Amino acid sequence: MASKESLNLCRAFLSNNRYVPLRQSFPNPNPKFQVLNQVSSQLFQTRSYSEIPKHLQHKPSVDPTLVPTTSPAAETLVPKTNETQKKKKNIANKAPVSSSLNAFEIAKFSAIADTWWDSEGPFKPLHAMNPTRLAFVRSTLCRHFGKDPYCARPLEGMKIIDVGCGGGILSEPLARMGATVTGIDAIEKNIKIAGLHSERDPATSSIEYRCVTAEKLVEEERMFDAVIALEVIEHVAEPADFCKSLAELTVPNGAMLVSTINRTIRSYAAAIVGAEYILQWLPKGTHQWSSLVTPEEIALIMHRSSISVQEVAGMVLNPFTGKWVLSDDTSINFIAYGTKNNL
Residue-wise pLDDT for 13-42, tens only, equals: 555 544 333 333 334 444 433 433 343 444
pLDDT on residue 40: 40
Q: Which residues are annotated as a binding site for Mg(2+)?
A: 231, 234-235
273 falls in which pLDDT band (50, 70, 90)?
confident
pLDDT on residue 149: 95
Q: Which residues are annotated as a binding site for S-adenosyl-L-methionine?
A: 133, 164, 185, 230
pLDDT on residue 9: 54
Q: Which residues are annotated as a binding site?
A: 133, 164, 185, 230-231, 234-235
Residue-wise pLDDT for 230-255, tens only, equals: 999 998 989 999 999 999 999 999 99
Q: Which residue has the higher pLDDT, 36 or 330?
A: 330
**Domain range 103-261+293-340, CATH architecture:** 3-Layer(aba) Sandwich (3.40)
Write out the DSSP string of 116-185.
TT-TTSTTHHHHHHHHHHHHHHHHHHHHHHT--TTSS-TTTT-EEEEET-TTTTTHHHHHHTT-EEEEE-
Residue-wise pLDDT for 126-184, tens only, equals: 999 999 999 999 999 999 999 999 999 999 999 999 999 999 999 999 999 999 999 99
Phi, psi of 135 (to 5 degrees): -60, -40
Residue-wise pLDDT for 284-311, tens only, equals: 777 677 789 999 999 999 999 999 999 9
Q: What is the 3-state secondary structure (H, E, C) of 154-169?
A: CCCCCEEEEECCCCCC
